[in-house]
Structure 1
């Protein structure tokens, strides 16, 4: 299964399109076009946190600290996805660069 985070999006405004892009962190479309849990992204983030937790002192290896790091990581990944998604439109509008 290859999740496809970028799909054709209707023009409903930048806010709604960014929310759609962010939602692809948890739910995406599979090869058949059906909604599916984005398990590779969730497992990747969990594996990164599992490895990185070994470098933190014991007092910071609890569910709260790990959850905060997961949320920060997911937010950063979502931001990167949004920038990648909207960069062609942004660069064309602001800089006049065509692809």
Structure 2
């Protein structure tokens, strides 16, 4: 299954590796560049916009207030959350643990096998040498980013529960993203008739 660099021509898919594609190990620079691409690509404005609208609708951080100014507060917090998580999970963690931050498409087997594989990548990843290992970059990196967020959220929001929720949300979004990346080549071929 061939991956594209963008999903629907918009969403970055820079870390997805096509089925059976052999790539050299990522250098520290490669990991930094990938984290930067995922953080500052024009499409990186979308997820914080959605999370901000959801947070404001729920009034999840009352100190931010409502209206345009309130939405702006939700937005910059969500954007910084996303960016710090990208750098911890895709650059700092992988550089320190010698883990590969890319998603390797399985591309074979039934739906349950591929879905299980893709979701498991949140806790299992490849090492720079090609072996499998616990995905410390994802789990610890997302936790570190969530912990860092307590420095810029209002003091009432700096609880273990809020930090744990952000941590879990980050890992969950990444797991869901891996699953979408797993099936993107199939979706692309079936609905957009793109063959590679």
Give, in whole Å, the separation in 1 of the partners of 2:174 and 2:99: 18
Q: Tell me the SS of whatever aligns to 2:104.
A: coil
The root-mean-square deviation of aligned C-alpha atoms, in Å, is 2.1
Change (3 A) 1:84 1:7: closer
Q: Is 1:27 the equivalent of 2:131?
A: no
Q: Which moved more, 1:67-76 or 1:14-23?
A: 14-23
Aligned to 1:73: 170
- Post-superposition shift, 1:32? 4.4
Q: Tell me the SS of whatever aligns to 2:153.
A: coil
Give, in whole Å, the separation in 2 of the partners of 1:8 and 1:82: 11
The alignment of Structure 1 onto Structure 2 pairs a total of residues equal to 97
Give, in whole Å, the separation in 1 of the partners of 2:136 and 2:149: 20
Residues 40-88 of structure 1: CA distance to partner in whole angstroms, max 9, x if unpaired? Answer: 1223212321222222222222221111111111111112222222211
Aligned to 2:179: 82
Structure 1 unmatched runs, 5+: none
Residues 119 and 178 in structure 2, CA contact (< 8 A), matched pair in contact too: yes
Structure showing greater Rg: 2
Aligned to 1:46: 143
Length-normalised TM-score, structure 1: 0.78
Length-normalised TM-score, structure 2: 0.43
Give, in whole Å, the separation in 1 of the partners of 2:159 and 2:177: 27
Aligned to 1:62: 159
